[in-house]
Chains A and B, each alone.
Chain A
Amino acid sequence: MGFQAIQGEGWLLAKAEQLINWGRSRSPWPFPYGTACCGIELMCALASGYDMARFGAERVAFTPRQCDVLIVAGTITKKMVPVLKRIYAQMAEPKWVLAVGACACSGGVFRTYSTHQGIGSVIPVDVYIPGCPPRPEGILYALLKLIDKIEADHPLYKQRSKVIEALEAAK
């Protein structure tokens, strides 16, 4: 993790960014947006046996306001697209999205009049998981990949550049 322990009174020295990332990556609370078949495999991944809680996805949030990771598992139809947009807009920053399964990634086998061809055109997606449906192991692997991504993030740096931009604009 990059923490450095200094000898003595139990001191830990780390960058603030690392500390924030450590906290974020160890508790990616999921919002299970399971609409179709992939939802059943997501259920398996969350339940006993595969137990996604091992990786910090302990509390399954059933409200978009208290979650970090939106797991879109299943087909998103055109009728559902406005709902998905709304759910994503309701989530608090920082937020990440996992697209589980072929349907969420690209529309899958359903290239029809009522299926939206991939959620990537509606909301930003962090990790795509192929498969129809992917195995629970696949979903766990994607979660680990997402944790890697969170750890490599620079939350404060991004914030800093935003502040500088705003200051320059004010000048």
Chain B
Amino acid sequence: MSLKEKVQAVIGGDLVELTDFRGDLCAEVPKGRCLQVLTRLKEEGGFDFLSDVIGMDNLHLYEKKKQKKGKKAEEETKPEKQGPPPPRFEVIYLLLSLETGERLQIRVRVPEDDLELPTITGLWRAADWPEREVFDMFGIRFKGHPNLRRLLMWDEFQDHPLRKDYPLEGKGEERHLNYDIG
């Protein structure tokens, strides 16, 4: 049984999309079912090692695609059907099966108006800091996380730096402690 079939069998009806790029399999699952799918993958699928949790902001990706579509529409003079815009953020879980050495990416899309996901620290404690980092960098909350605070930036920092609308050189934030000298 190939990895693709195995993943299809384990995830079953919750699978939205399964893409394969250069041998890296990426399965998209709906946001509400993410915890159940990951539990099943760990217990039935044999993906027992969490490599990383990655956040992503797709703001510019969709802007660019819209531009491309716009050009095409001008050429073809046919307005394409436009569904609701895809959710802005996504979280990718990198799983690994220690037995077979197979890797799998699980993608969960998170809309901008509902930035909350269930935590997976109950399944893998390895998700502790990566989830905090995603919260720090993108502002996605993980419900039930034991200690959801900023990880890399200081606590008084207001923005989420890895969002695409945050400038590279920052907005001039400085860190001050109230017992600072001078």
- Using CB atoms and an 8 Å cutoff, list the residues of chain A in contact with chain B: 78-79, 81-82, 85-86, 89, 111-114
Contacts and interface: CB of A to CB of B under 8 A. Distances in A.
Given A113-B173, A114-B153, A114-B161, 15 more contacts: A78-B173, A81-B175, A82-B176, A82-B177, A82-B180, A86-B181, A89-B181, A111-B168, A111-B169, A112-B168, A112-B169, A113-B161, A113-B168, A113-B169, A114-B152
- Interface residues of chain B: helix, strand, loop or mixed (majority): loop
A95 B14 CA distance: 65
B154 interface: yes
Determine which residue in A79, A82, A111, A112 has the highest number of CB atoms from chain B within 10 A of its CB, and name it. A82
Contacts of A112: 168-170
Contact of A79 (B153, B166, B181): B153
B155 to A, nearest CB: 10
Contacts of A82: 175-177, 180
B156 to A, nearest CB: 10
A1 B180 CA distance: 41
A113 B166 contact: yes
A114 B170 contact: yes
Contacts of B171: 113
B174 interface: yes
A89 B180 CA distance: 10
B79 interface: no
Interface of B: 152-154, 161, 166-171, 173-177, 180-182
A94 B143 CA distance: 53
A82 B166 CA distance: 24
Nearest to A82: B177
A40 to B, nearest CB: 22
A164 B175 CA distance: 39
B9 to A, nearest CB: 44
Contact of A78 (B166, B168, B175, B180): B175
9 closest A-B pairs by beta carbon, nearest first, are: A113-B170, A82-B177, A89-B181, A79-B154, A78-B175, A113-B161, A82-B180, A79-B175, A82-B175
B168 A85 contact: no
Contacts of B182: 85, 89
Nearest to B159: A113
B166 A81 contact: no
Among B161, B166, B181, residue most surrounded by chain A Cβ atoms (within 10 Å): B181
B181 A78 contact: no
Nearest to B174: A78
A85 B181 contact: yes
A85 B166 CA distance: 28
